[in-house]
Amino acid sequence: MSKELSDSYRDPTLAGQLVRWIAKISRKKIRLMEVCGTHTVSIFRSGIRSLLPDTISLVSGPGCPVCVTDPGDIDAFLALARMEGVTVATFGDLMRVPGSQGSLLELKSEGRDIRVVYSPLDALAVARENPDRKVVFLGVGFETTAPTVAAAVSQALQEGLANFFIYSAHKLVPPALAAISKNPDLRIDGFLLPGHVSVIIGSGAYRPFVETSRCPAVVAGFEPVDLLQAIGMLVSQIEAGEARLENAYKRAVSEKGNQAAQMLLENTFQVTDAPWRGLGVIPKSGLALKPEYAGFDAGKVLPLCVPASESPAGCRCGEVLIGKITPPDCPLFGTACTPVKPVGPCMVSSEGTCAAFHRYGGAS
């Protein structure tokens, strides 16, 4: 997006009008969930919480991919990094996430070969340059990230790279929303749907969820004006007693989404049941490599042995991830668990709710 265009979505006058509109129409006390971690960060960075009326609580959802990664998968990543002859390539966010024993960052300090990459295609380059190493890319992310991983697998196949592997812990957003809306403890009145994921899957992908759950949902962009508009649309639906799917991010999200990316996903992955931190196993909510790509599947090819994993004692990341509690409700928050010494993943990732509260929170 050009600077001029992005500036118009940060326009103070426009934002002020939306804030006044929301204050005017909001009557009921409601809880809205921003599903996406990038939304959480954007809401904090622009100070939106400080501008909303008391009637509206924003709770953060399971949209930080690192945070929802199951402790068992985190331990599998650590086990891979400890294997002789294995180079692990990962997004930076995973480096500090504590597993049952240590973190990738600690293993790197101990001399294990762990590379931070910005794209799975960079991991492919690492494999190309190090033919004597088995290079494993840690596949963590939603529908947004998975297509680039699929592209890397297809590229590796074309090149005949035999030392490139994927550990797929990819997850799908709509099944998690369904699980959250069914939980009576959570009382979510409306969902801000993730913009980036929606670019890929299309707004239409949420239609079955909205029809079944009867919960208002609006696809939202990431600039302050985008978010305020989407919040206003949710409030307006709720006040009118409606439950519809709306799209407040039409400049990027279409009804059908990016079909080329969807095709790539379909060709490479199959939908599988997947464990989520905080939500347990959700049926048909994960992506595993298809059998024809088994040769790239680190979980199948490498002798991976991961002991049973547990969340760290006292850590309530699981409840934070589904909006059951806010970070300050966790007794470890800001005391035993800080960005310097994180106990759970929500304090680690830049998109984690606890990290965002710790970094940006506190200002009224």
Partner 1 sequence: MTGQNDIIRLDHGSGGRISGELISKLLLPAFDNPILSKLDDGAALEVDGVRLAFSTDSFVVDPIFFPGGDIGDLAVNGTVNDLAMCGALPLYLSVGLIMEEGFNMSDLSRILSSMKRAAKAAGVLIVTGDTKVVPRGAADKIFINTSGIGRIPDHVHVSADGARPGDVVILSGSMADHGMTILNEREKLSFSHGITSDTAPLHRLTQKLLAAGKDNHKGNRKDIHVLRDPTRGGVGTALCEISERSNVGIDIFEENLPIKPAVAGLCELLGIDPLYVANEGKLLAFAARPAAEKILADLRSDPLGVEAQIIGEVRSDHPGKVHLRTRIGGTRIVSMPAGDQLPRIC
Binding residues for partner 1, per CB under 8 A?
3, 6, 10-12, 15-16, 19, 38, 41, 44-51, 92, 102, 105-106, 109-110, 118, 224-225, 228, 338-341, 350, 358-364
Give the C-alpha separation, 4 to 131, whole Å: 46
Give the C-alpha separation, 144 to 260, whole Å: 13
The helix-helix angle for 12-25 and 224-239 (nearest 10°) equals 20
DSSP 348: T
CB of 182 to partner 1, least distance (A): 32
Name the pairing type of β-strands 280-289 and 269-276: antiparallel
How far is the first Cα of the chain from the last one, in angstroms, to the nearest whole number? 31
* Cβ atoms of residues 230 and 70 within 8 Å: no
The Cα diameter of the chain in Å comes to 65
Closer residue to partner 1 (CB): 5 or 162: 5
CB of 359 to partner 1, least distance (A): 5
Q: Which of 181, 198, 203 is nearest to 190 (CA)?
A: 181
CB of 59 to partner 1, least distance (A): 18
Closer residue to partner 1 (CB): 12 or 303: 12
Name the pairing type of β-strands 86-90 and 134-139: parallel
Closer residue to partner 1 (CB): 96 or 134: 96
CB of 109 to partner 1, least distance (A): 5
CB of 35 to partner 1, least distance (A): 17
Closer residue to partner 1 (CB): 280 or 307: 307
Closer residue to partner 1 (CB): 92 or 204: 92
Three-state SS letters, 8-27: HCCCHHHHHHHHHHHHHHCC
Closer residue to partner 1 (CB): 171 or 358: 358
Q: Which of 111, 113, 116 is nearest to 94 (CA)?
A: 116
Q: Which of 97, 179, 157 is nearest to 289 (CA)?
A: 157
Closer residue to partner 1 (CB): 48 or 176: 48
CB of 351 to partner 1, least distance (A): 8
CB of 191 to partner 1, least distance (A): 22
